[in-house]
Amino acid sequence: MSEKEVTTKGLKKVLGLTSLFIITIGLVVSQTSVVSILQGAGIGGSTFFIAILIAFIITLCYISTYSELALMMPKAGSISTYTAVSIGHFPAIVAALSAYVAPAIFANPAELLLMQHVLDTILPGTFSNVALILLWLFTILNILGIDLFASIQSIVSFTMLVTLVVIGFVGLSKGSTEGTAPTQMLQDILHSGSSVFTLLLVALWPFFGFEMLCDLIEEAKNPVKHIPKAMFTASIVMLCAYSLIAFAAMKNVPATQLANTDIPHWDLGKAIFGNVGKIIILILSITTTSGLISAMLAAVPRLLYGMAHHKQLPSIFMRLHPKWRTPWFGIIVLSTLTTIPILLFGKRPDALLMLVISAASCYLLAYIIAHIDLIVLRKKYSNHVRSFKSPLFPLPQIIGISGMIYALINNSPTPALRLKVFINATLFMSFTGIYAFCWVKYKMKRKLFDPEPIGQAIKD
């Protein structure tokens, strides 16, 4: 079958509101998210709740921006499409690759190795290669179709949410003298200082990724109603879940213990459930990792698919499987790039967790660019039909940009760590910048900041 025949069928519209909501949860919740929440609770104490609330407000800002952009240009390319129309292909490629592909390559192995670390702690030497097995299992399932993926994702994400809620509520009801008393938590919140802002990036990381649902917009049955609703609803659910588990952790585990371990969820499980906690944390570890890996393998290849349609990547990325109509090449490429760090770093999740923080800094760049895109497009295409409009424009965009810049500057608690993060983020963006410059100038033969007409972007 020719490339044209493979691609002209397009992606299948099979995702309803429930599926989109579940996929959104899977995109956001991960072991590294849970670890960030628990370690943040250990470092900041109850003042971390303020950081979580600020992170949630910033999240609502970027969700409102992406909702308007996605429904203006309902294409799988997401940020690459919006930025190409607003300020040109060069920043579009940089934003898409440095802020989504690079973090996926490094955050996914960190997530898988963290799961491996938990398994080795609970059952030493029993599941030595489970990280790679899980990765390629979900690779095959994603290639076999978005509807099959959505069904499995529903089971995984539901189990994950139930496990988080069970841990949280049991932790609330358990009488413990090991952690911080609720009355003391309240006093700490009332007397919190500016130090809470140093924890902003730690609180933001668990809220990154809601917007990746926009890459599945071509497969949504009713994107106008369901895409914004799925993201906003999921963000509220995760605010409650994160706050609940943070409170349970503070109440039952000493702050220093939460702050100084790679697997604080393991300590929380033991404190609440005793030996049974092994099974609970094992379920949480497997489901959070499975949900994230599966959702990332669904979303990122569709971003690459959209970029290829805009000629920002080689055309092979827009090939669809002739039977299942999935972007199989992008799925295999992402899985291969995820496999390499796993083989290189083995059982050293600490080496990759540094790159997760660097990945978070790259995410911030994408959110800043998205807010700028919306501001530019509101002026440039003021009469364009918008089925969703960001409320109180441009206040959410100004708040979002300000919050992201602050988190970018204060991305780590120590100067030494901050320097390493800046170096890693700079390397990510430099590599994608070189590719984008060469591709736009010599392959696309376009000016770097020459915007794409919105009609052409939607048509591609």
Distance CA 343, CA 21 (A): 33
pLDDT, position 13:
82
Report how far residue 421's alpha carbon sits from residue 433's, in angstroms, rounded to the nearest whole number: 18
Residue the block writes with tokens 């099979």:
14
Residue 15, φ and ψ in degrees, nearest 5:
-95, 120
Q: How far apart are CA 105 and CA 428, in angstroms?
A: 11
Q: pLDDT value at position 163? A: 87
63 strand-pairing partners: none
**Phi then psi dihedrals of residue 74, to 5 deg:** -75, 70
pLDDT of residue 123: 78
Task: Verify cis geometry, omega within 30 degrees of 0, for the bond prior to 349.
Answer: no
- In sign, the C-alpha dihedral spanning 135, 137, 138, 144 is positive
Q: In angstroms, rounded to a whole number, what is the distance separating the alpha carbons of residues 62 and 106?
A: 23
pLDDT of residue 340: 87
* pLDDT at residue 1 in the model: 36
Say if residues 412 and 421 touch (Cβ distance below 8 Å).
yes
Consecutive sets of 10 residues in the chain, 460 residues long: mean pLDDT of each? 45 85 87 89 90 96 96 82 94 87 79 85 77 90 75 77 88 78 81 76 89 88 94 96 93 90 87 86 86 85 89 92 88 92 69 66 87 96 92 96 88 67 80 94 94 84
CA 165 to centroid of chain Cα atoms: 21
Where do runs of H (alpha helix) occur along 97-222? Answer: 102-122, 130-143, 146-173, 182-190, 200-204
Q: Which of 39, 28, 207, 30 is nearest to 112 (CA)?
A: 30
Angle at 40 between CA 45 and CA 249, to 5 degrees: 65
- In eight-state DSSP terms, residue 382 is T
CA distances from 440 to 82, 92, 434, 448 (A): 16, 10, 10, 6
326: nearest Cα among 308, 353, 299: 299
CATH class of 12-459: mainly alpha
Query: Per-domain residue ranges for the chain?
Result: 12-459
φ, ψ at 363 (rounded to 5°):
-55, -40
Question: Which tokens is 187 given?
Answer: 């006093």
- Give the residue from 39, 31, 44 showing the smallest Cα distance to 258: 39
Torsion of CA 180, 184, 189, 195, to 10 degrees: -60
Length of the chain: 460
